[in-house]
């Protein structure tokens, strides 16, 4: 018997997935080890083709891993016979980038669908479906067909549908990638709300760092079939370690224009809740008697806390630049020299 | 304009043509629909891949589809006799019509079902749907409008086949056109049967398309 770890909802153990294609074997995932805890919102981010979509499909075995095991709430899914696996899938909801609603069914009928599959009586299914449409704020559109709904509304129906069977986990595969920024925000709000209210573990797959920052507590960065970096979102946002992590975190602060001088040095400074109360940059300028050019600055809300980031161009005078970096170092500010050229 | 007898004969012709076409279409669907469904599901990309079954069915369908209908009718005469007890008349024509149309319908059904979004099937799988549930709750209902368009095409094709059956002793409008136009050079009657056939095809096609359109919730 396996020791059942109380706090772990999903565990991937030495999991690999390869596909055989015309051009030989492709290793989509290579020995992935990952634990997702009960009740958290966990993000999986990566560039397209990194294997993140395959990874999420391995969690509910839509794709069967070539090697390794998938544990769901203590049960090894890879060892289950088909009928029991189908039963287990009823405790895992999933939503998709393209919503994947049944086009010939109304919103309400779509939400009833998983219950029909689970063999729940029609009346009961209908009642439950109406409750869920209420939760996602679409009670008034229950008789509409998907083609009559907007993207955001379709995703709300899909979320309601994924929740009808009272799942323990909600898997979101690029769920906001087909939506505009405002709709994305409202869908993310809804996911956050569901996580809080119903205590459902949420796994979010995305290629957008902003999505991760908005709702995730922890994140795994996938790059070339492996987990490149794993940790709290706060930690990865302030001090990304892997090359891919830096790329994902910095890409938004990248200056839009490239200046044609390779001597210029840039520095990214991150202010967390504490440092943002202190005028660090102003003090640095006063102290060092030199000026910096601010290339980019913004603030972000990470898991409920405000973070600021700023990209500055250091003065060409090397001595001065060194002095400034030393100052930041002394003040325990999170900073890193970045290379945008 | 025409003698009473001719009008009556045309009336019987219309009745026989419709009778052969509709009965054959129905029976051909009873065979073709499950075959099409099995072809889609057992495909190597399908929800329940069974490669040998898929290859076998595909082969049989292709063989039957490649025999020209006129030749097929003659080849299956022994089968027709065994089933119907006769090889002439409209009742006898139903046998070759079904054999000729079922593979065609199987392919039509297959292509309709293949139009169903893979993502929707994946979503159903993620909810724990069994292959049978996916067949009857996803594939068929989602493909319904396309299946209806397919059936409108099939029924008109079968009507055309049934007219061809006139050449070897089948009944219906085809036989009238053959007997009067070809053997007796009474072209006026042949033209009338042709016009009647055109009208019937138009009506069947239009009705089928309308039903398909009304049933489609994607618009």
Q: Which alpha helices (DSSP H) does B42-167 contain, by range?
A: 51-66, 69-75, 77-84, 90-114, 118-126, 131-133, 140-164
Answer whether residue A60 is part of any domain: yes
Q: Is the separation of the CB atoms in B200 and B18 below 8 Å?
A: yes
A103 to chain B, any CB pair closer than 8 A? The answer is yes
The verdict on a CB contact (< 8 Å) between B129 and A103 is no
What is the nearest CA distance from A114 to chain B, expressed in angstroms?
6
Minimal-distance CA residue of chain B relative to A107: B217
* pLDDT value at residue A341: 42
Q: Which parts of chain B have pLDDT scores under 50?
A: none
Domain boundary among A244, A279, A297: A244
What is the nearest CA distance from A72 to chain B, expressed in angstroms?
14
* 3 state SS of A337: strand
Minimal Cβ distance to B144: which of A88, A90, A104: A104
Neighboring chain B residues of A62 at a CB cutoff of 8 Å: 122, 125-126
A144 to chain B, any CB pair closer than 8 A? The answer is no
What CATH number should be reported for the domain holding residue A106? 3.40.50.300
pLDDT digits (tens, 9 = 90+) for A91-116: 999 999 999 999 999 999 999 999 99
Domains: count for chain A: 2
Answer whether residue A280 is part of any domain: yes
Domains defined along chain B, listed by start: 4-214 (1.10.3720.10)
Answer whether residue A3 is part of any domain: no
Task: Please tell me which residue, A142 or A255, carries the higher pLDDT value.
Answer: A142
Q: Which alpha helices (DSSP H) does chain A contain, by range?
A: 52-59, 82-89, 107-118, 122-135, 151-163, 181-198, 209-215, 233-238, 243-250, 280-288, 318-330
Helices (H) and strands (E) in chain B, counts: 10, 0
Band of pLDDT at residue A59, cut at 50, 70 and 90: very high
- CB–CB contacts below 8 A, A to B: 76
Query: In this structure, how many other beta carbons lie within 10 angstroms of the beta carbon of residue A22?
Result: 4
Q: By mean pLDDT, which of A149-158, A254-263, A323-332, B6-15 is the weakest?
A: A254-263
The verdict on a CB contact (< 8 Å) between B124 and A113 is yes
Shared-domain flag, residues A213 and A236: yes
Minimal Cβ distance to B123: which of A90, A96, A118: A96
Find the angle CA(B71)-CA(B28)-CA(B35) to the nearest 5 degrees: 105
What is the nearest CA distance from A116 to chain B, expressed in angstroms?
9
What CATH number should be reported for the domain holding residue A330? 3.30.70.260
* 3 state SS of A261: coil
The verdict on a CB contact (< 8 Å) between A90 and B127 is yes
Q: Is the separation of the CB atoms in A43 and A219 below 8 Å?
A: yes
The verdict on a CB contact (< 8 Å) between A117 and B129 is yes
Q: By mean pLDDT, which of A3-12, A56-65, A81-90, A196-205 is the weakest?
A: A3-12
Shared-domain flag, residues A175 and A293: no
Parent domain of A155: 8-244
Question: What is the percentage of chain A residues whose pLDDT exceeds 70?
Answer: 93
What is the nearest CA distance from B124 to chain A, expressed in angstroms?
8
Mean pLDDT to the nearest integer, A184-210: 95
pLDDT digits (tens, 9 = 90+) for A230-247: 999 989 988 889 989 988
A64 to chain B, any CB pair closer than 8 A? The answer is no
Band of pLDDT at residue A89, cut at 50, 70 and 90: very high
Mean pLDDT to the nearest integer, A33-54: 93
The verdict on a CB contact (< 8 Å) between B128 and A98 is no
Strands A293-302 and A305-313: antiparallel
Neighboring chain A residues of B145 at a CB cutoff of 8 Å: 104
Shared-domain flag, residues A61 and A145: yes
The verdict on a CB contact (< 8 Å) between B217 and A60 is no
What's the ipTM?
A: 0.88
Residue A248 vs residues A222, A231, A242, A297, B208: alpha-carbon distances, Å: 11, 14, 10, 16, 54
Shared-domain flag, residues A201 and A274: no
A79 to chain B, any CB pair closer than 8 A? The answer is no
Shared-domain flag, residues A209 and A329: no
Answer whether residue A249 is part of any domain: no
Band of pLDDT at residue A274, cut at 50, 70 and 90: low
Shared-domain flag, residues A51 and A140: yes
Shared-domain flag, residues A81 and A143: yes
The verdict on a CB contact (< 8 Å) between B217 and A116 is no
A117 to chain B, any CB pair closer than 8 A? The answer is yes
d(CA B10, CA B20): 15
Mean pLDDT to the nearest integer, A153-158: 97
Shared-domain flag, residues A304 and A192: no
Shared-domain flag, residues A118 and A25: yes
* pLDDT value at residue A337: 83
Answer whether residue A2 is part of any domain: no
Shared-domain flag, residues A122 and A269: no
pTM above 0.90, yes or no: no
- Mean pLDDT of all residues belonging to chain A: 90
Band of pLDDT at residue A3, cut at 50, 70 and 90: low
Does position A324 have pLDDT exceeding 50, yes or no? yes
Minimal Cβ distance to B119: which of A60, A83, A100: A100
Domain boundary among A218, A244, A270: A244
* pLDDT value at residue A4: 58
* pLDDT value at residue A294: 86
Answer whether residue A299 is part of any domain: yes
Shared-domain flag, residues A226 and A280: no
d(CA B154, CA B28): 10
Domain boundary among A213, A244, A275: A244
Answer whether residue A1 is part of any domain: no
Does position A340 have pLDDT exceeding 70, yes or no? no
The verdict on a CB contact (< 8 Å) between A102 and B122 is no
Structure tokens at B195: 């016009």
* pLDDT value at residue A83: 95
Shared-domain flag, residues A291 and A163: no
Does position A196 have pLDDT exceeding 50, yes or no? yes
Answer whether residue A333 is part of any domain: yes
Minimal-distance CA residue of chain A relative to B218: A147
């Amino acid at each position: 018997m396996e020791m059942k770890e109380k706090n772990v909802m999903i565990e991937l153990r030495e999991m690999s997935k390869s596909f055989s294609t015309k051009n030989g074997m492709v290793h989509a995932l290579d020995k992935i080890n990952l634990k997702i805890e009960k009740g958290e919102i966990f993000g999986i981010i990566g560039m397209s083709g990194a294997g993140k979509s395959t990874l999420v499909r391995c969690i509910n075995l839509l794709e069967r891993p070539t090697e390794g095991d998938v544990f769901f709430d203590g049960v090894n899914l890879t060892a289950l016979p088909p009928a029991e696996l189908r039963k287990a899938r009823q405790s895992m909801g999933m939503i998709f980038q393209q919503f994947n609603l049944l086009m010939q069914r109304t919103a309400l009928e779509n939400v009833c669908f998983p219950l029909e599959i689970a063999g729940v009586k029609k009346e009961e299914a209908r009642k439950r479906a109406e409750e869920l449409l209420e939760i996602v704020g679409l009670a008034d559109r229950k008789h509409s067909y998907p083609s009559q709904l907007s993207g955001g509304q379709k995703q709300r129906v899909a979320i309601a549908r994924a929740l009808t069977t009272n799942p323990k986990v909600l898997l979101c595969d690029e769920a906001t990638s087909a939506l505009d920024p405002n709709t994305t925000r409202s869908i993310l709000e809804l996911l956050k709300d569901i996580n809080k209210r119903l205590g459902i573990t949420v796994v979010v797959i995305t290629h957008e760092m902003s999505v991760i920052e908005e709702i995730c507590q922890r994140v795994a960065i996938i790059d070339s079939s492996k987990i490149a970096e794993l940790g709290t979102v706060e930690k990865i946002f302030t001090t990304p370690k892997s090359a891919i992590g830096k790329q994902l975190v910095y890409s938004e602060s990248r200056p839009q224009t490239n200046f044609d001088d390779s001597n210029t040095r840039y520095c990214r400074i991150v202010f967390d809740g504490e440092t943002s109360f202190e005028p660090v940059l102003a003090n640095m300028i006063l102290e060092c008697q030199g000026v910096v050019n601010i290339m980019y600055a913004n603030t972000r809300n990470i898991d409920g806390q405000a973070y600021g980031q700023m990209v500055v161009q250091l003065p060409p005078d090397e001595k001065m630049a060194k002095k400034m970096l030393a100052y930041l170092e002394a003040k325990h500010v999170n900073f890193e020299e970045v290379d945008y050229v | 304009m025409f003698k009473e007898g001719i009008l009556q004969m045309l009336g019987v012709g219309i009745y026989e043509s419709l009778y052969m076409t509709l009965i054959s279409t129905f029976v051909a669907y009873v065979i073709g629909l499950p075959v099409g469904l099995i072809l889609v599901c057992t495909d190597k990309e399908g929800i329940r891949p069974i490669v040998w079954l898929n290859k076998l069915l595909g082969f049989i369908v292709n063989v039957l589809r490649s025999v020209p209908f006129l030749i097929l009718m003659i080849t299956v005469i022994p089968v027709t006799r065994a089933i119907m007890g006769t090889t002439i008349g409209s009742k006898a024509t139903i046998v070759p019509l079904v054999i000729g149309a079922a593979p065609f319908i199987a392919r039509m059904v297959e292509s309709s079902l293949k139009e169903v979004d893979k993502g929707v099937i994946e979503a159903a799988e993620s909810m724990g749907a069994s292959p049978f549930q996916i067949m009857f709750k996803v594939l068929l209902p989602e493909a319904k409008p396309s299946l209806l368009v397919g059936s409108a095409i099939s029924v008109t094709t079968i009507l055309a086949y049934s007219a061809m059956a006139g050449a070897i002793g089948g009944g219906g409008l085809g036989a009238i056109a053959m007997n009067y136009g070809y053997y007796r050079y009474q072209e006026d009657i042949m033209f009338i049967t042709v016009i009647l056939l055109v009208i019937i095809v138009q009506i069947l096609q239009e009705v089928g398309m309308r039903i398909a359109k009304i049933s489609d919730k994607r618009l």
